[in-house]
Chains A and B, each alone.
Chain A
């Protein structure tokens, strides 16, 4: 592929007002949308604000909406963006769900506040040899959730936050975090009541948009949210399990001394 001229239509503005501005960029082989934004900064608009760090899909900074889809700018190839623009200019907008700061930069601090509501890791006491004994097969599940790069694309696309502005729902990213702690074999924290009340898991109607956009391919709905919903059912909506638990005691304490 030789170079090709393409129009990028970028959202420019601050908290007060904004508009879409067209820029022509030279696209060469292998280029991603973030490269095109950098090219605009270098050649046409040095004041264009965008957040980025790694250009490798690992820092989670460069989230935006490209042709209407929440994506990482550094992981979206220009050839694909040209395709999904269907002949029109490539549209690059900031994430819609969060308060806007400038151009492509949004204020995602609400997410950090929601994060603080989650009970942190509460490790079980160590065994007599001074170690925790955890097998790889039983930690696999929690490790899927550790892949999260906190790009907040899932928070951005979740209709509870995006359309209903219901920020008493902690959002899919924090369902993932809570699941990673809840399902950890050596964790003794109990986050079930918290999930039901403060974190608002019931707001999620499992429509799976978060899963569709996650750049790390985490099965947010199937592996984190639905299993957590089932655990909430165990504690709050299932009289039979509740009775069973009364008779036979609560779940076995994690990681007893071998």
Chain B
């Protein structure tokens, strides 16, 4: 048996590549880290999350049970759903395994820790298999955000649209694109089938699956823009509520 050349373990970051392979994990770490810090801060605030008919997506659905101690922001009751959804998302997994766990730091870039790798076969990462349940929660939350957006068109019983309403509309569209381009969704709405012509309405279901597959091909882009926009939506409503920004009423 030949000595496997592959048994040579390269040290962390060792590579013959000359391009900037570290750039995209770095950008991810900065953007995702920044978003997490902002979201945690915003969730702690427990104020300035409402303005007129607007409700910040970080605080929706707004649950205030009686047992909730006043120092605890209601945002923490619901944050688990979108957080769990994004943390178990196939795209985010790829990005943070690379950027934070350096497993691998880049393609054909050394890891420097050969043994003991279990991947998603063992705890904790075996829990990634629960992604579809977070998807169900995320769809629920998305429905609530749609309702919030409809309510953001009602000013003291009158129909009206402000700049904030538009911001919230874009938010639900982007979150919808992200949610419904999910890999688990693609599987559940039809990807699990092999013989479509054996199914009732097989052709139509195949067309639906093709549509979701098209969205799925852009899942990473949707993940980024929806994450950034959700943050901006909170920033917008917060600034309005603090009186630092004038919301313009369009009609």
Q: Do A and B come from one complex?
A: yes
Asked if B196 and A68 sit within 8 Å, CB to CB, the answer is no
Asked if A205 and B191 sit within 8 Å, CB to CB, the answer is no
- How many angstroms between the C-alpha atoms of A69 and B216 in the bound complex? 27
Residues of B within 8 A of A202 (CB): 118-122, 126
- How many angstroms between the C-alpha atoms of A221 and B191 in the bound complex? 14
Residues of A within 8 A of B186 (CB): 227
Choose one: B111, B125, B194; the contact of A254 (CB below 8 Å): B194
Choose one: A88, A185, A232; the contact of B194 (CB below 8 Å): A185
- How many angstroms between the C-alpha atoms of A230 and B190 in the bound complex? 12
Q: Which of A38-46, A50-58, A113-121, A162-170 faces chain B?
A: A162-170
Q: Does B195 make an interface contact (CB < 8 A)?
A: yes
- How many angstroms between the C-alpha atoms of A63 and B9 in the bound complex? 21
Q: Does B149 make an interface contact (CB < 8 A)?
A: no
Asked if A68 and B187 sit within 8 Å, CB to CB, the answer is no
Residues of A within 8 A of B5 (CB): 15, 94, 96, 98-100, 106
- How many angstroms between the C-alpha atoms of A253 and B130 in the bound complex? 27
- How many angstroms between the C-alpha atoms of A99 and B121 in the bound complex? 26
Q: Does A242 make an interface contact (CB < 8 A)?
A: no
Residues of A within 8 A of B113 (CB): 163
The number of residues on chain A lying at the interface, defined by a beta carbon within 8 Å of a beta carbon of chain B, is: 73
Q: Does B199 make an interface contact (CB < 8 A)?
A: yes
- How many angstroms between the C-alpha atoms of A161 and B104 in the bound complex? 12
Residues of B within 8 A of A101 (CB): 2
- Given A138-B197, A162-B6, A204-B119, verify A68-B15 contact (CB < 8 Å): yes
Q: Does A62 make an interface contact (CB < 8 A)?
A: no
Q: Does A207 make an interface contact (CB < 8 A)?
A: yes
Q: Does A73 make an interface contact (CB < 8 A)?
A: no
Q: Which of B54-62, B91-99, B170-178, B234-242 faces chain A?
A: B91-99
CB closest residue in chain B, given A187: B194
- How many angstroms between the C-alpha atoms of A221 and B125 in the bound complex? 17
- How many angstroms between the C-alpha atoms of A6 and B2 in the bound complex? 33
Q: How far is the CB of A159 from chain B (nearest CB, A)?
A: 4
- Given A138-B196, A205-B120, verify A238-B132 contact (CB < 8 Å): yes
- How many angstroms between the C-alpha atoms of A138 and B2 in the bound complex? 44
Which residues of chain A from 170 to 221 have any CB-CB distance to chain B below 8 Å in the complex? 182-187, 200, 202-209, 212-213, 221
Asked if B195 and A96 sit within 8 Å, CB to CB, the answer is no
Q: Does A19 make an interface contact (CB < 8 A)?
A: no
Q: Does A111 make an interface contact (CB < 8 A)?
A: no
CB closest residue in chain B, given A11: B5
Which residues of chain B from 57 to 71 have any CB-CB distance to chain A below 8 Å in the complex? none
Asked if A99 and B195 sit within 8 Å, CB to CB, the answer is no
- How many angstroms between the C-alpha atoms of A187 and B198 in the bound complex? 13
Q: How far is the CB of A223 from chain B (nearest CB, A)?
A: 8
Q: Does A133 make an interface contact (CB < 8 A)?
A: yes
Residues of A within 8 A of B104 (CB): 159, 163, 207, 209
Asked if A69 and B195 sit within 8 Å, CB to CB, the answer is no
User: What is the interface of chain B mostly: helix, strand, loop, or mixed?
Assistant: loop
Q: How far is the CB of B243 from chain A (nearest CB, A)?
A: 46
Q: Does B167 make an interface contact (CB < 8 A)?
A: no
Q: Which of B16-24, B72-80, B138-146 faces chain A?
A: B16-24
Q: Mark B109-124, 1 if CB is under 8 A from A, else 0.
A: 0110111011111100
CB closest residue in chain A, given B131: A233
CB closest residue in chain A, given B197: A135
- Given A68-B18, A84-B18, A91-B16, verify A99-B6 contact (CB < 8 Å): yes
With a 10 A CB-CB cut-off, give which of B2, B97, B108 has the most chain A CB atoms: B108
Q: Does A12 make an interface contact (CB < 8 A)?
A: no
Q: How far is the CB of B207 from chain A (nearest CB, A)?
A: 9
- How many angstroms between the C-alpha atoms of A166 and B122 in the bound complex? 15
Asked if A205 and B197 sit within 8 Å, CB to CB, the answer is no
- Given A165-B6, A254-B198, verify A69-B192 contact (CB < 8 Å): no
Q: Does B48 make an interface contact (CB < 8 A)?
A: no
Asked if A203 and B117 sit within 8 Å, CB to CB, the answer is yes
Residues of B within 8 A of A61 (CB): none
Q: How far is the CB of A186 from chain B (nearest CB, A)?
A: 7
Asked if A84 and B120 sit within 8 Å, CB to CB, the answer is no
Known: A65-B16, A67-B17, A255-B197. 20 other contacts (CB 8 A): A68-B18, A70-B107, A84-B19, A100-B3, A100-B5, A163-B104, A164-B117, A166-B117, A185-B197, A202-B120, A202-B121, A206-B93, A207-B94, A207-B97, A207-B98, A209-B104, A222-B183, A226-B183, A230-B183, A256-B198
Q: Which residues of B contact A (CB under 8 A)?
A: 1-10, 15-19, 90, 93-94, 97-98, 103-104, 107-108, 110-111, 113-115, 117-122, 125-126, 129-132, 183-184, 186-188, 191-199, 202-203, 206, 216-217
